[in-house]
């Protein structure tokens, strides 16, 4: 079998370059705008960007295995057809080959251990709860059917309902490590802004954390990723990054609005604008105040969680 294996190897080496070249070409950003991206979103936040790099790394053995196995299958389809063989051909009656079988047990295992190691390194790096010392800003994100309530320091609250997310983005300063505390008051929701970082669930009963750091101003879309009821697809999400100066102005403006509630205010009134510096209201939902499901996808009044 050894001469066959070496022929195989040669075939693989011949097949690999075109595939790799094609995959690099495919990664051109032009495709991304057409809905045909073969690659993970190349996120702007450093943690999201490292997911993209890990995805590329995994693709190297993945494409190799794909090409190898499909080439073997095609070889059989083309070469070993009965039609193409001389009549009376009796195929070799192999029952097995221990060395080969061990080889194709060990080789995939090694590749997988390598992928596992790379993934674990990334987990340790970016999926630990970021410490207070590196965190620049804490924002609490609370999910409800079908929108989000963002609570900034000094209890400034902004509530975005359903498709209104475009007007009520989660505003963050650029160049700062923003730590999000995620919780839910009713069912499970998912917080996902693909161009920033991976998703994290908002589960009633406990808090989850995620973080990102946006280098440049801009706006990014996202939406709820955990089926949460009839209005699930309307539960849109937007993140808007502005310069730190603009951010402080915006925050002051929201605070002023909260102090003098007006019906047309773009932010929900906060119950205690000059209250404690604690960034988050109580994360545990109160049973009596749990909202009832909204049968239509229309926006509902904010549940206005209070501290």
Partner 1 sequence: MATLAPPRPKSYDDSFFKPISLWLTTTDHKLIGIMYMVTGVLAFVIGGIFALVVRLQLTTPNAKVVDAETYNQLVSAHGTTMIFFFVTIFMTGIANYIVPLMVGARDMAFPRVNLLGFWMIPVSILIYYMGFFTGGALNAGWTGYPPLTSKQFNPGLGVDLWALSLIVWAISGIMASTNFLTTIIALRAPGLKLTRLPLFVWAQISTSILLLIVGAPLAAALILVEFDRQFGTNFFTTQGRPVLYQHLFWFFGHPEVYIMILPGFGMISEIIPVFAKKPIFGYGSMVGALFGIVFLSMAVWAHHMFTVGMNIYVETFFMIMTMLIAVPTGIKFFNWIATAWRGSVEFSLPMKFAFGFMATFLIGGITGVYLSSVPVDTQLHQSYYVVAHLHYVLFGGSVMTIFAGIYYWFPKITGRKLNETLGEWHFWTVFVGFNATFLVMHTLGLEGMPRRIATYPGGFGEEGWGATNVFITIASFLVALSVLIFLINLVTSWRSGEIAGDDPWEANTLEWATSSPPPPYNFDRVPPVRSFMPLRDLRAERRAGGEPDPEPAPTTA
Quick note: the x/- pattern for partner 1 over 203-242, rule CB under 8 A, is xxxx-xx-----------xxxxxxxxxxxxxx-x-x----
Strands 236-242 and 170-173, sheet pairing: parallel
- Find the binding residues for partner 1 in span 65-84 (CB under 8 A): 65-66, 69-70, 72-73, 76-77, 80-82
> Nearest distance from residue 296's CB to partner 1, in Å?
8
Q: Name the one range near partner 1 by CB under 8 A: 16-24, 246-254, 257-265, 291-299.
A: 291-299
Residue 186 as a binder of partner 1 (CB under 8 A): the answer is yes
Give, as one character, the DSSP assignment of residue 290. Answer: P
Distance from the Cα of residue 181 to its chain's centroid = 16
> Nearest distance from residue 246's CB to partner 1, in Å?
22
Residue 3 as a binder of partner 1 (CB under 8 A): the answer is no
Tell the residue number behind the tokens 């939902």, with chain if given: 285
- Find the binding residues for partner 1 in span 115-134 (CB under 8 A): 115-116, 118-120, 122-124, 126-128
Q: What are 279's two structure tokens? A: 């960034």
- Smaller CB distance to partner 1: residue 92 or 277? 92
- Find the binding residues for partner 1 in span 243-272 (CB under 8 A): none
Residue 93 as a binder of partner 1 (CB under 8 A): the answer is yes
The single residue among 9, 134, 166, 252 that binds partner 1, judged by CB under 8 A, is 166
CB atoms within 10 A of CB 259: 11
Residue 108 as a binder of partner 1 (CB under 8 A): the answer is yes
- Smaller CB distance to partner 1: residue 135 or 208? 208
- Smaller CB distance to partner 1: residue 35 or 301? 35
- Smaller CB distance to partner 1: residue 60 or 251? 60
- Find the binding residues for partner 1 in span 16-35 (CB under 8 A): 32-35
> Nearest distance from residue 225's CB to partner 1, in Å?
4
**Longest Cα pair distance anywhere in the chain, in angstroms?**
94
Element (DSSP H or E) covering residue 177: strand 177-184
> Nearest distance from residue 237's CB to partner 1, in Å?
9
Site size for partner 1 (CB under 8 A)? 103
- Find the binding residues for partner 1 in span 144-163 (CB under 8 A): 145, 163
φ, ψ of residue 74 to 5 degrees: the values are -65, -40
> Nearest distance from residue 179's CB to partner 1, in Å?
14
Cα(57)–Cα(43) distance, integer angstroms: 16
The single residue among 131, 133, 262, 292 that binds partner 1, judged by CB under 8 A, is 292
> Nearest distance from residue 19's CB to partner 1, in Å?
13
- In Å, how far are 65, 100, 101, 103, 261 from 107, measured between CA atoms? 11, 11, 10, 6, 66
Virtual torsion, Cα 114, 119, 122, 124, nearest 10 deg: -100
- Tell me the three-class secondary structure of 221-287, residue by residue: EEEECCCCCCCHHHCEEEEEEECHHHHHHHHHHHHHHHHCCCCCCCCCCCCCCCCCCCCCCCCCCCC
Strands 156-161 and 147-152, sheet pairing: antiparallel
Q: Do 238 and 204 meet the contact criterion of CB atoms below 8 Å apart?
A: no
- Smaller CB distance to partner 1: residue 159 or 210? 210
Element (DSSP H or E) covering residue 51: helix 46-79
Residue 112 as a binder of partner 1 (CB under 8 A): the answer is yes
- Smaller CB distance to partner 1: residue 113 or 265? 113
């Amino acid at each position: 079998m050894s001469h066959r294996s070496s022929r195989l190897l040669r075939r693989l080496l011949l097949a690999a370059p075109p595939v790799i070249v094609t995959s690099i070409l495919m990664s051109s950003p032009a495709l991304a705008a057409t809905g045909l991206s073969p690659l993970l979103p190349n996120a702007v936040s450093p943690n999201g960007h490292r997911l993209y790099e890990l995805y590329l790394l995994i693709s190297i053995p993945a494409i190799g295995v794909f090409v190898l196995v499909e080439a073997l299958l095609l070889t059989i389809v083309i070469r070993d057809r009965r039609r193409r063989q001389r009549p009376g051909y009796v195929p070799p009656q192999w029952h097995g080959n221990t060395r080969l079988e061990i080889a194709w047990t060990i080789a995939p295992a090694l590749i997988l251990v390598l992928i596992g190691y790379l993934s674990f390194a990334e987990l340790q790096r970016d999926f630990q709860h970021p410490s207070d010392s590196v965190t620049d800003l804490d924002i609490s994100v609370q999910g409800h059917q079908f929108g989000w309530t963002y609570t900034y320091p000094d209890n400034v609250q902004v509530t975005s309902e359903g498709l209104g997310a475009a007007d009520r983005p989660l505003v963050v300063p650029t160049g700062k490590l923003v730590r999000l505390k995620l919780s839910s008051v009713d069912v499970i929701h998912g917080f996902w802004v693909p161009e920033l970082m991976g998703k994290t669930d908002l589960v009633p009963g406990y808090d989850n954390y995620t973080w990102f750091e946006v280098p440049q101003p801009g706006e990014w879309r996202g939406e709820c990723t955990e089926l949460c009821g009839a209005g699930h697809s309307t539960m849109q999400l937007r993140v808007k990054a502005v310069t730190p100066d603009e951010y402080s102005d915006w925050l002051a403006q929201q605070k002023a609005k909260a102090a003098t509630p007006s019906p047309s205010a773009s932010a929900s009134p906060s119950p205690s604008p000059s209250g404690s510096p604690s960034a988050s209201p109580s994360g545990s939902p109160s049973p009596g105040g749990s909202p009832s499901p909204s049968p239509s996808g229309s926006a509902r009044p904010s549940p206005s969680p209070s501290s």
